[in-house]
Structure formats: structure tokens, C-alpha cells
């Protein structure tokens, strides 16, 4: 007699076959950062899901921005720079509906070097996430625990940047 054990998918529910890593289960971090690299919003998705699928939920996750002036805080950032993965009419429409000026590189027309001035800020923030050993390799099976550790890393990155600005 054989018994079949119902075990969860390795890595949890928010993992999928990573196309760049020979199909091993993996996940992606989707991050919106400000001009200094401070994370404003972060979401986790399976590695095999297209980046543009979480574009609108990521825009909705950005908290109101307090700029130190009187009155109601801005509810959205002024401008958004994105790479070629987001060159889809749905993503552009989502930005225009929220009143955000968008600068998305066009596929097949522009080289990725022009966005390099803004892209390195995001890449640097993603490298800061890799400094946390718990996030470098995903050990958690549950997606909510992995998201909690990622959000804790966002808090620590923001705190360290705040300390750097106070010097």
C-alpha cells in the first residue's frame, strides 16, 4: 500500500518556475522607490509571472507622500520611470488615470542606456535587499512570512537612509 503525502509546493504559493534559473522555483520582488532609493512599496510574485501584471497593485500600494508643505499630502508620485517590461498600453493608462507623468522606455525603439540614469537607483535598492541573508535565498514556504521579512528589510533600509541624511 502506498501513501501519498500532500506537501506544499517547494518555496510556497508565491513561487513559480524561474525562467532564468533552469526552472527552479523562485519569486520576484517588485519595488517602487523614490529618487534616493528609499522603497515606497514592495510586492512579491512568482518568478514566472510577467512584471506588468503587478503594476497597478504596486501603484495602489504607494502611501500618501508628505512633502513638508501645508495642506493635503500628495496621494501619488509626480513622475514614474520604468523599463521596457512595462511598455504596455494598460500600464500607461494606469499612470494617466492616477495623474502620474510616465517615462517608459519603448520596446524596439530606445536603448536601455537612456533610462540608466534612473534605473541604477532601483538596482541599488534591490542590491540592498540582497544584503539581508534571509532574503538572498527564499527559505520560507509561506508567502506572508516572506513578504513580512521583505517589508522588515524595507523598514531597515529606510531607517538607515534616514540616519544617513541626519549626518
Burial letters 53-64, b for 16+ CB under 10 A, else e: ebbbebbeebee
Q: Which span out of 41-55, 81-95, 146-160 was modeled with the highest average pLDDT? A: 146-160
Give the pLDDT confidence score for residue 3 in this predicted structure. 43
Helix axes of 116-130 and 143-166: crossing angle, nearest 10 degrees: 110
Coil, strand, or helix at residue 144? Answer: helix
**Tens digit of each residue's pLDDT (9 = 90 or more) over 7-42:** 455 556 677 766 666 666 778 888 999 888 899 999
Give the pLDDT confidence score for residue 4 in this predicted structure. 42
Q: In angstroms, how far is the first alpha carbon of the chain from the final one?
A: 69
The half-sphere exposure of 157 on its side-chain side, counting CA atoms within 13 A, is: 26
Give the pLDDT confidence score for residue 112 in this predicted structure. 60
Q: What global pTM score does this model have?
A: 0.77
Residue, of 124 and 25, whose pLDDT is higher: 124
Identify whether the C-beta of residue 67 lies closer than 8 Å to the C-beta of residue 74.
yes
Owner of C-alpha cell 495623474: 99
Alpha helices (H) along 84-132: 89-97, 116-130
Identify whether the C-beta of residue 16 lies closer than 8 Å to the C-beta of residue 37.
no
Residue 44, H or E segment: strand 39-46
**Mean pLDDT for all residues in the chain:** 81
Residue, of 6 and 14, whose pLDDT is higher: 14
Which of 40-54, 64-78, 95-109, 120-134 is least confident? 64-78
The length of the chain in residues reads: 167
**Tens digit of each residue's pLDDT (9 = 90 or more) over 47-79:** 888 888 889 999 888 887 776 777 777 767 788
Give the pLDDT confidence score for residue 13 in this predicted structure. 66
Give the pLDDT confidence score for residue 23 in this predicted structure. 64
Amino acid at each position: 500500500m502506498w501513501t501519498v503525502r500532500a506537501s506544499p509546493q517547494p518555496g510556497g504559493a508565491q513561487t513559480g518556475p524561474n525562467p532564468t534559473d533552469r526552472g527552479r522555483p523562485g519569486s520576484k520582488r517588485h519595488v517602487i522607490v523614490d529618487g534616493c532609493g528609499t522603497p515606497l512599496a514592495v510586492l512579491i510574485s512568482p518568478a514566472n509571472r510577467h512584471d506588468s501584471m503587478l503594476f497597478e497593485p504596486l501603484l495602489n500600494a504607494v502611501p500618501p507622500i508628505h512633502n513638508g508643505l501645508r495642506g493635503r499630502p500628495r496621494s501619488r508620485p509626480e513622475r514614474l520611470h520604468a523599463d521596457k517590461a512595462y511598455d504596455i498600453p494598460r500600464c500607461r493608462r494606469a499612470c494617466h488615470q492616477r495623474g502620474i507623468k510616465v517615462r517608459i522606455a519603448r520596446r524596439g525603439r530606445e536603448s536601455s542606456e537612456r533610462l540608466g540614469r534612473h534605473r541604477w537607483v532601483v538596482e541599488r535598492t534591490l542590491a540592498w535587499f540582497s544584503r539581508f541573508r534571509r532574503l538572498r535565498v527564499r527559505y520560507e514556504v509561506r508567502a506572508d512570512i516572506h513578504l513580512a521579512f521583505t517589508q522588515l528589510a524595507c523598514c531597515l533600509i529606510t531607517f538607515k537612509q534616514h540616519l544617513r541624511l541626519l549626518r
